[in-house]
Homo-oligomer: A and B are copies of this chain.
């Protein structure tokens, strides 16, 4: 807590966030605490005695201390696998009261649920001086950060290959993207510096003031930023006054770790955020279930207050069911933080094993062709497969001379063909082209034709999160299709 230096970040707020007015009723509610034992005819809440619910309960996998590898036990023991129950009851005290969880609350969520994710965040990140705000899941969290920070015409920075659903979302409210080059280690700090230092506000408009980053197991590339790069990027954020939206759903799925230490996971941007310029978005989707739709943002108190106000003016607080689930899960009645840590360690083991099975098939079926290769991902669910498209007999460079400016090569056309051939052979893979961040006109001008991302779309996103039994047949198809595609027109 003591290491935080207050930095003025007020100018990062969007027009919309600045224009948001406090609700007059909220101010009034504060007055109504004038005396103890006030009688109220003021609320509009249905009386809890009319809630038709006695109990909500979730029967979940046990993460008790005596189970060495809870995920393996859960997936292998079938119906007899040991379980625990998280619940809230009308008649029995637990970590949160049913009548409180099912009533209206404020945009910040239930104090009990906030405390649960705050304890979790403190354990893993020890942020210098930050506050948690509950969200309705990861997408809600990230897009709320976009609304909070982005005014029409603003430019945001992102990895040149990013998750399309997220880079797509703020286009509608006038945000422009400036893609930054990546390599196998993720976003390249010197490229970020180049963009920022060569930005001319007279020509390109307001300099980008937000970096959207997925630091671990990035979707789609699977890249994880090294600690060194994280430090460099944070220093650039300080130098060029950026807010970093740290979207880290794969944080708990990092591999090849020394699992002995109390927290073997890579330090987050949040953990080094002395300025309060990081808004970290966390999710339970990848370690629990996506349908839970409950996550949280950790930010400075200042951004927290504006996030709560945005919640109050849009979605309101998260659903009571999910708040009960996570509060119970992280409490002494549920797994506790210890149990959660055991579950996620065990889950890492599971995914790491899946990754290794996948890679084994990959090397045998695909890499052996010499036509594609990959780097083993250090986190997440994705294997970013590079297709050596320059070995294709119809590969062409300098197609620009044929009357076009960008791209310079016919990589996009060849990769489209390859994708079609995979589909024809019964295999679904995701082509890199759908992940190319939608660069604004200004960004394209700044980055120059020589750097068109279209010349670097020779990748496929594949995953080891799906059916294990399908990995080998799927990769066999990919290898076969590659061989046929590269040979056919020789």
Contacts and interface: CB of A to CB of B under 8 A. Distances in A.
Interface stretch (A38-46, A191-199, A258-266, A451-459): A38-46
A153 B234 CA distance: 39
A3 to B, nearest CB: 34
A6 interface: no
Contact of A466 (B41, B137, B140, B288): B41
Given A19-B171, A50-B350, A39 B463 contact: no
Interface-central residue, A17, A288, A315, by most chain B CB under 10 Å:
A315
Contacts of A11: none
A265 to B, nearest CB: 18
B79 A52 contact: no
Nearest to A83: B54
A61 B71 contact: no
Interface stretch (A25-33, A236-244, A272-280): A25-33
Nearest to A173: B16
B75 A50 contact: yes
A466 B39 CA distance: 10
Interface-central residue, A25, A46, A325, by most chain B CB under 10 Å:
A46
Contacts of A35: 423, 426
* Secondary structure call for the A interface: mixed
Interface string A470-486: 11011101100000000
B289 A316 contact: no
Contacts of A433: 24
A293 B314 contact: no
Contacts of A473: 39
A246 B57 CA distance: 35
A182 interface: no
A183 interface: no
B428 A168 contact: no
A143 interface: yes
B19 A172 contact: yes
B16 A477 contact: no
A28 B69 CA distance: 38
A435 to B, nearest CB: 8
B172 A46 contact: no
Contact of A41 (B74, B313, B427): B427
A313 to B, nearest CB: 4
A165 interface: yes
A235 interface: no
A286 B44 CA distance: 9
A169 B314 contact: yes
Contact of A219 (B44, B74, B102): B44
A461 B321 CA distance: 31
Interface-central residue, A102, A325, A424, by most chain B CB under 10 Å:
A102
B291 A104 contact: yes
20 contacts: A17-B172, A20-B171, A34-B423, A38-B428, A39-B428, A40-B470, A41-B471, A41-B475, A43-B463, A52-B60, A53-B58, A53-B289, A54-B83, A55-B58, A57-B59, A105-B291, A139-B316, A293-B315, A319-B321, A319-B322
Given A45-B466, A50-B75, A172-B313, 6 more contacts: A31-B423, A35-B426, A47-B465, A49-B75, A51-B289, A104-B291
Interface of A: 16-17, 19-21, 23-25, 28, 31-32, 34-35, 37-47, 49-61, 63, 71, 74-75, 79, 83, 91, 101-105, 136-137, 139-140, 143, 164-165, 168-169, 171-174, 219, 285-286, 288-294, 312-323, 325, 343, 347, 350, 381-382, 423-424, 426-431, 433-434, 461-463, 465-467, 470-471, 473-475, 477-478
